[in-house]
Amino acid sequence: MSRLTWASTAFTRALKLKYPIIQAPCAGHAASDLTAAISNAGGLGSLGLATTQPEAMREIIRDTRAKTSLPFAVNIFCRQTPPPTREELAKIYPTDTFLDNIRHELGISQPLQFAMRSPPLDSQATVIIEEGVQVVSFTFGYLPDHLFKAFKDAGIYIIGTATTVQEALILAGEDSPEAQPKADAIVAQGLEAGGHRGSFLSDQGKEMSTRDLVQAIHNTLTSKIPILAAGGLSDGPTVADALLKWGADGAVIGTLFMLSKESPTPFAHKDVMLHSQEPTKITKVITGRRARCFPNKLVRNIEDSVGSSVEIPPYDIHSAKIADIVTHGTKNSLTDYMYLLSGDNTTKAAKYSEEGTLSATGIFNKLVSDIQKHA
């Protein structure tokens, strides 16, 4: 199999990419240098801007465009329910007492008010369209009809995220006879993936490994919508398997590129990724949504204190309530109080990135070489 054969998929042809390698957006862990490097190497770089305010988004997009003339994606979060009101954010929840105890331990004051982690989606969409972004990816659901239409009218290629076959059916517009597609491509996010689960249906029991999910979606959908594998793709052989054996139209890679020299991932976070002997786990205690991370003191203590009897507040509320603690922890390199998001195969990524010493381009070229050896 020639390079041109494995590199030419429905996804690369649609976006005129050289290779079907996508850098996962990883909100807070992807910036212009990393994104541009991946796009310039022939893949699709991504900006994780879901938690970024509109004007800051505009600056980052322009900065990235100054470094590459090739397509890159902007990732945003969707909401399937209305955002909480100011009163709901101010409400006292059972977890608040524990969070206040942490603030006391760290010597920080409780915020006078809480703000949602993500700004209004419409305001972010306006910037995306005005700045001529060519690709948008989303997670936590799907776009409202008016934004989907606005993006399509602007010629934007849209990538959705599914964690189950049923979610993929909805994104492909195959869940009912009258349904319409909600994306041009689907990220199949397997259980190995680091960071937040992109789930928007309550069917955790139907989540699968990345390989099984990609193959199950392919076997179920009747359309030819591109399927992009995401989760645990942390070295060349695994990426090669995804593209050559599982039938994926692209490989979405997060943890491995987080360890690149251009990644803005804090040094303390990278140090845990490189040296932790403890496996990652999926938990909802840090934001109210299930996410894969390294369990630190913050995770363990909330889990121990809250137990099974207390419900963690919804994402928009809990992530707002805990944000000041995590910001303080990140600013002061306190790994016990940071979001240590990472994938299931972080040890493989550490080795493949040569302990975080390779550039993003170096990792990318190494991947291409390894895929070619297996082709």
Task: Report the CATH number at residue 139.
Answer: 3.20.20.70
**20 neighbors 226 (Cβ within 8 angstroms):** no
Q: Are residues 101 and 23 in the same domain?
A: no
CA angle 242–39–152, rounded 5-degree value: 85
What is the per-residue pLDDT for 344? 97
Find all residues with CB under 8 Å of 29, minimum gap 6, and list them: 48, 254, 258, 263, 264, 265, 341
What is the per-residue pLDDT for 18? 97
What is the per-residue pLDDT for 308? 61
Q: Are residues 369 and 286 in the same domain?
A: no
Q: Are residues 92 and 184 in the same domain?
A: no
Q: Are residues 36 and 154 in the same domain?
A: yes
Residue 347 covered by a domain: no
DSSP 198-262: ---SS-GGG---HHHHHHHHHHH--S---EEEESS--SHHHHHHHHHTS--SEEEE-HHHHTSTT
Q: Are residues 203 and 285 in the same domain?
A: no
Residue 271 covered by a domain: no
Residue 272 covered by a domain: no
Tokens of 14: 């649609």
123 phi/psi in degrees, rounded to 5? -70, -35
Residue 267 covered by a domain: no
Give me the torsion for CA of 60, 272, 343, 171, rounded to 10°. Answer: -30
Residue 223 covered by a domain: yes
What is the per-residue pLDDT for 252? 98
What is the per-residue pLDDT for 79? 85
Tokens of 371: 């895929």
Distance, CA of 150 to CA of 133 (rounded, Å): 12
How many helices and strands, by DSSP H and E, does the chain display?
A: 17, 11
Counting the structural domains of the chain, the total is 2
Q: Are residues 96 and 199 in the same domain?
A: no
Question: H or E segment at 17?
Answer: none
Find all residues with CB under 8 Å of 237, minimum gap 6, and list them: 370, 374
Distance, CA of 78 to CA of 89 (rounded, Å): 19
Q: Are residues 224 and 153 in the same domain?
A: yes
Residue range of the domain that includes 97: 84-116+281-341
Positions of the chain with pLDDT lower than 70, given as ranges: 1-4, 30, 307-309
